[in-house]
Structure 1
Amino acid sequence: MSTPERPVASPCVNICALDEDDICTGCQRTVAEITRWGRMTNDERRVVLGLCHERAKASGLVWMIPAKR
C-alpha cells in the first residue's frame, strides 16, 4: 500500500494585495485560484503554480521565486 501524497503547499507569502487585474501581488494567484485552492487536487495546484510562475516572469518578479532544486 502506497503512502498518500502530501498536499501541494500554497504559494502564499503573506503579501496579500490585488493588482488592477485582481491578481495577488504576493503569490501571483487570481482571486478564483486563491478561493478554490483548498478544494483543488494536487494536479490542479501544480497547474496553478505554473501559471503563477509565468505571471511572475511576465511582471518581472521571477527573481522572488526560489529556484527549483
Structure 2
Amino acid sequence: MTAIPPTKPSSPCTKVCVLDAATGLCEGCGRTREEIGLWGSLSEPQRLALMAVLPERLRRAYPKREEAAR
C-alpha cells in the first residue's frame, strides 16, 4: 500500500505580510487579519472561494498599484 503524502493547503500568501492600517488588508494577498487567522480551519473549498475574490479586492483597495504596473 502506498501512502499518499498530505497535500499542502492552498494559500494566496505572497510573503509580503504587511497589514494596511487604512484598508485592514494584507498588502500582499488581500486577506483580512481575521481571514488569515482562520485560514488553517477553513475547508479547501472555502479557501478556494476566498482566493477567487482576492484579486478584485486588491484592485479595488489599491487602484494606483495597477495603474503603475501599466
Give TM-score scaled by structure 1 length: 0.68
Q: Please, which runs of 5 or more residues in structure 2 have no aligned partner?
A: none
Instruction: State, as a whole percentage, how many aligned pairs show the same letter.
Output: 31
Q: Which letter does structure 2 place at the counterpart of 1:36?
A: L
Of 51, 54, 64, the residue aligned with 1:52 is 54
Give TM-score scaled by structure 2 length: 0.67
| C-alpha RMSD of matched pairs (Å) | 2.2
Considering fraction of residues, name the structure with more helix.
2
Question: Which residue of structure 2 aligns with residue 13 of structure 1?
Answer: 14
* 1:7-65 deviation line (CA, Å, top 9, x unaligned): 54211111111111210001110111100111101111012102211112222356xxx
Q: How many residues align structurally?
A: 59
Q: Which 4+ residue blocks in structure 1 deviate beyond 2 angstroms?
A: 59-62
